[in-house]
Chain A
Amino acid sequence: MTRVLGWLAALALLAGLGMAFAVAPREATQGTVQRIMYVHVPSVWVAYCAFVVVFVASIAYLATRAEAADRLAHASAEVGVLFTGLTIATGSIWGKPTWGTWWTWDARLTSVAVLFVMYVGYLLLRGMIDEGERAARYAAVLGVVAALNIPLVHFSVLWWRTLHQPPSLMKPGPSSMPPVIVRALLVNFAAFALLYLYFVAKRVRLLRLEGEAGA
């Protein structure tokens, strides 16, 4: 099953590349550099989803003490950190030609950086505590608290004056983007979501094997 998911993700990523470079048109204002959006935006959407999974799995762990919930939270946090890092890096590469700077302490960029640091902290916390049950419990509390930052990140561009553009899709009202660009974006999101599912399924299995090996 996991292998099928991996192949599906790989095929979807190829389709996403085709949509980004062959189907989606050159954007009139920014030019070709706007194609970075097809990596940058799906990355952050998948990161949001990953951290929502951490939130739900952490609550499930605190309520039931089920090890499966803890493994899911751990795996999802790790993959979420990966996609958040990718979001920050691709955003920085996009920022240089459009804003003239790699980084600025604007509300969106700063809140994403805080989100990244919080989940890196989550992973470090897990690694620092030897006792498995205590590590899982502390991490679950942090997994619930850190999720409060997700709406802050998303709405930061609406609540404060920022250099970062406001959301084009996940906002009230119709999309301001042409349908062909929306389609390319959604295909890439589907590809990244499949990749997320594959990574999490594999990581959960590894955590179980590591637990058995260490038992």
Chain B
Amino acid sequence: MGDNWGFVLAAYALAAIVLTGYWRHLVRRERELNAPVAGHPPGAPPRQQ
């Protein structure tokens, strides 16, 4: 059987893209949730409408 390096690289590249993508998604989401809303400091109770 041939070496099929293309398939090996495809599998590893896919794994790298999926895992890095999820990692970045988690980091980005955490940054969004920790970012202070204008006029509403982090940790303060939610304001009434």
Contact = CB atoms under 8 A, between A and B. Distances in A.
Contacts of A55: none
Contact of B22 (A33, A36, A82): A82
Given A31-B2, A31-B3, A32-B3, A206 B30 contact: yes
B30 A202 contact: yes
Contacts of B8: 32-33, 35-36
- Report the interface size class on chain A: 20 to 34
A171 to B, nearest CB: 24
A93 B14 contact: yes
Interface string A183-208: 00000000000010001001101100
Interface residues of B, number: 23
A40 B18 CA distance: 13
A97 interface: yes
Contacts of B46: 215
Nearest to A35: B8
B1 A31 contact: yes
A30 interface: yes
A6 B30 CA distance: 14
B11 A82 contact: no
B7 A36 contact: yes
Contacts of A90: 11, 14-15
Contacts of A17: 12
A74 B46 CA distance: 25
Nearest to B13: A93
Contact of A206 (B10, B14, B26): B26
Contacts of A199: 22-23, 26
Interface of A: 6, 17, 26, 29-33, 35-36, 39-40, 43, 82, 85-86, 89-90, 93-94, 96-98, 195, 199, 202-203, 205-206, 209-210, 213, 215
30 contacts: A6-B23, A31-B1, A31-B2, A31-B4, A32-B8, A35-B8, A36-B7, A39-B12, A39-B15, A40-B11, A82-B19, A85-B18, A86-B14, A86-B18, A86-B19, A90-B15, A93-B7, A93-B10, A93-B14, A94-B11, A97-B1, A98-B1, A199-B22, A199-B23, A202-B26, A202-B30, A205-B30, A206-B33, A209-B33, A213-B33
Given A31-B2, A32-B8, 16 more contacts: A6-B23, A29-B1, A32-B5, A33-B4, A39-B12, A85-B18, A89-B11, A90-B15, A93-B7, A93-B14, A97-B2, A199-B22, A205-B30, A206-B30, A209-B33, A209-B34
